[in-house]
Amino acid sequence: TNNTVSNDDLALIKQFLISHPSKTKPIYPTFLLPNEKTKKSLTKWQTFANKKGIKKKRCREIYDCKEDIFLPKWGRFSLKKPSIYEEKIGEEKKNEKKKFKKGPEKKTCTNQRFIKQ
C-alpha cells in the first residue's frame, strides 16, 4: 500500500509542476551581446571627400594565375599585352637584338625587357 500512495503523490506533484510554470530570475546581470557601439563622427577629410565625391584609389595591379605574380592593368608589362607576337613577312628587323653599352656591363634588349649577359 505504501507504493501506491507514493506513486499517487508523485503523480500529483508532477501534475502541479507542469500546470504552474515557474519564473526564475538569474543571479548575475544579463547583457545583450554584442554591445551597441556609438557611431564615430566623420573626420574633416572624410566629410570633405564625401562633399567633393572623392573615392578611394583603385589598385593598379592584377593577379596573373599563369605566372603566379601581380602585373599592372595598363602600361609597361601589363597583363593585357600579348606575350607572344606573330612575326609578319618583312618585319625581320624588329626582332633583332639591339646592343646597348652602359658602363662596364653590356645589356641586350629583347622587345620589352633588358637581360644582363
16-74 pLDDT per residue, tens: 888 877 777 767 777 777 777 888 999 999 999 999 999 888 888 888 888 788 888 88
Nearest CA to 57 out of 47, 67, 49 is that of 49
**Torsion angle of C-alpha atoms 65, 82, 98, 72, degrees rounded to 10:** -50
**Torsion angle of C-alpha atoms 80, 83, 89, 93, degrees rounded to 10:** 110
Q: What is the pLDDT of residue 34?
A: 76
Look at strands 105-110 and 98-102 and give their pairing: antiparallel
pLDDT band at 82 (very low <50, low <70, confident <90, very high): low
Whether residue 114 has pLDDT greater than 50:
no
CA 55 – CA 48 distance, rounded (Å): 11
Grid coordinates belonging to 97:
637584338
Whether residue 72 contacts residue 65, with contact meaning beta carbons closer than 8 Å, is answered with no
CA dihedral for 109, 111, 115, 117, sign (positive or negative):
negative
Whether residue 87 has pLDDT greater than 60:
yes
